Amino acid sequence: MKLSRRFATRVVLLVILLVFTAFFFLPVIWLLLAPTKTDGQLVTQAPFAFGSLRTLAHTFHRIISYDNYSLLVWLKNSAIYSFGGTALAILAAIPAGYGLALTHFIGRRTLLVITLIVMIMPATALVLPLFLEMDKIGLYGTIWSLILPFGFFPFGVYLAYIYFSSTIPSDLLAAARIDGAGEWRVFRYIALPLARPIVALVGFFALVASWNNFFLPFVMTYDSSQYPVQIGLNELIGSTASFNPANFSAGSGVTVLHRPDLAMAVILAIAPVLIVFLFAQRALVAGMLAGATKE
């Protein structure tokens, strides 16, 4: 009796988990399968049917070469903006977190609180003032208008703060100070080498945040050649026949895109972050576990 009830509970739990898994995972599978089909097959075939590799190659070729290889330009732009922003974010967040965690100065707590407030503020709220600011200092339309705003990555500052305050004993820094290191060298030779996991973690989050950002580049760029891939995708939706039938009256001369092309573009837009994640995985896990155990 007892045993069968436990069994029933497990079955119910399993079903719930399966439903949730399906709910979130099926769209991803659909997306991955879409480029293997033609637009027609996409609506006529079963949702999770596999089209053909030939079609996949066609789709890939069509989306890559679309509009004089725009997608590649956008991906390149995204890479420049994101890696630039990430580099800046790391450069600022790691020392900032260190300073907030391990040094004493007037206004330390206030700064920490402000960082937390900005962290929970939606990033889009700052886009308009940032636009006005960039315009005033003449950086609007340059790559700096997309890199500089990511230099302050409050979540990264917070992560670094937590890491430094929980994993680095203050005696270690005291020892270095006594050993003749000034404040900069204490950071450079002691804190920074020990902070490798958190540098990876902050960098990854900064990269994702910058890569996936839409509204800021949407406001800051005005020419297709400047677009990062997120804005490019938006542009592609506009060129997709099934979404905007009115744009494509016969003989307009514009290359028409279809939904499988769009799916392919999305996959290509995700791929770089995924690749970085796979390579950085070990460091990232270390960063997330850091502080849980002490040596």
Partner 1 sequence: MATVTFDRATRIFPKSDMPAVNALDLEVQDGEFLVLVGPSGCGKTTSLRMLAGLEHVDEGEIRIDGRNVVNLAPRDRDIAMVFQNYALYPHMSVAQNMGFALRMAKVSKSEIAERVQDVAKMLDLVEYLDRKPRELSGGQRQRVAMGRAIVRQPRVYLMDEPLSNLDAKLRVATRAQISALQRRLGVTTIYVTHDQVEAMTMGDRVAIMRKGELLQVAPPEDLYDNPINIFVGGFIGSPAMNMLEATIERDSVGLVARVGDARLPLPEETLARHPGLASYESRTLVLGIRPENLEDAALANDGPRFYGRVELREALGSEVIVHFNIAARHAVTEETLELADDALGDRALATDKGTSETTLVGRFGPRTRVREGDSVEVAIDTRTLHFFNPKDGLAIA
Neighbouring residues of 16: CB distance < 8 A, sequence distance ≥ 6: none
CB 131 within 8 A of CB 222: no
Write the single-letter amino acid at 213. Answer: N
By the 10 Å C-beta count (0-12 exposed, 13-18 middle, 19+ buried), 261 is classed as: buried
Q: Does 27 bind partner 1 (CB under 8 A)?
A: no
CA 92 to CA 159: how far, in whole Å? 12
The nearest distance, CB 287 to partner 1, in angstroms, is 15
Q: Which is nearer to partner 1, 190 or 264 (CB)?
A: 190
Of residues 50-89, which lie at the interface with partner 1 (CB under 8 A)? none
Q: Tell me the site size for partner 1, rule CB under 8 A.
A: 18
Q: Does 22 bind partner 1 (CB under 8 A)?
A: no
Q: Does 295 bind partner 1 (CB under 8 A)?
A: yes
CA 85 to CA 146: how far, in whole Å? 8
Neighbouring residues of 209: CB distance < 8 A, sequence distance ≥ 6: 123, 150, 153, 155
Q: Which is nearer to partner 1, 96 or 176 (CB)?
A: 176
The nearest distance, CB 95 to partner 1, in angstroms, is 18
Per-residue mark of binding to partner 1, 176-215 (x: CB under 8 A) = xxxxxxx--x---xx--xx---------------------
Residue 189 C-alpha from the chain's centroid:
30
The nearest distance, CB 6 to partner 1, in angstroms, is 44
- Residue entry with tokens 């027609």: 40
CA 231 to CA 246: how far, in whole Å? 21
The nearest distance, CB 173 to partner 1, in angstroms, is 9
What the block records as the tokens of 11 is 């079955």
Q: Does 12 bind partner 1 (CB under 8 A)?
A: no
Rounded to the nearest 10°, the torsion over CA 51, 55, 61, 66 is: -80
CA 228 to CA 69: how far, in whole Å? 13
Of residues 233-262, which lie at the interface with partner 1 (CB under 8 A)? none
Q: Which of 3, 105, 171, 250 is close enough to bind partner 1 by CB under 8 A?
A: 171
CA 139 to CA 245: how far, in whole Å? 37
The nearest distance, CB 86 to partner 1, in angstroms, is 24
Of residues 104-163, which lie at the interface with partner 1 (CB under 8 A)? none
Q: Does 94 bind partner 1 (CB under 8 A)?
A: no
Q: Which of 25, 169, 247, 279 is close enough to bind partner 1 by CB under 8 A?
A: 169
Q: Does 172 bind partner 1 (CB under 8 A)?
A: yes
The nearest distance, CB 89 to partner 1, in angstroms, is 24
The nearest distance, CB 40 to partner 1, in angstroms, is 60
What the block records as the tokens of 204 is 């990854």
Binding site for partner 1 (CB under 8 A): 169, 171-172, 174-182, 185, 189-190, 193-194, 295
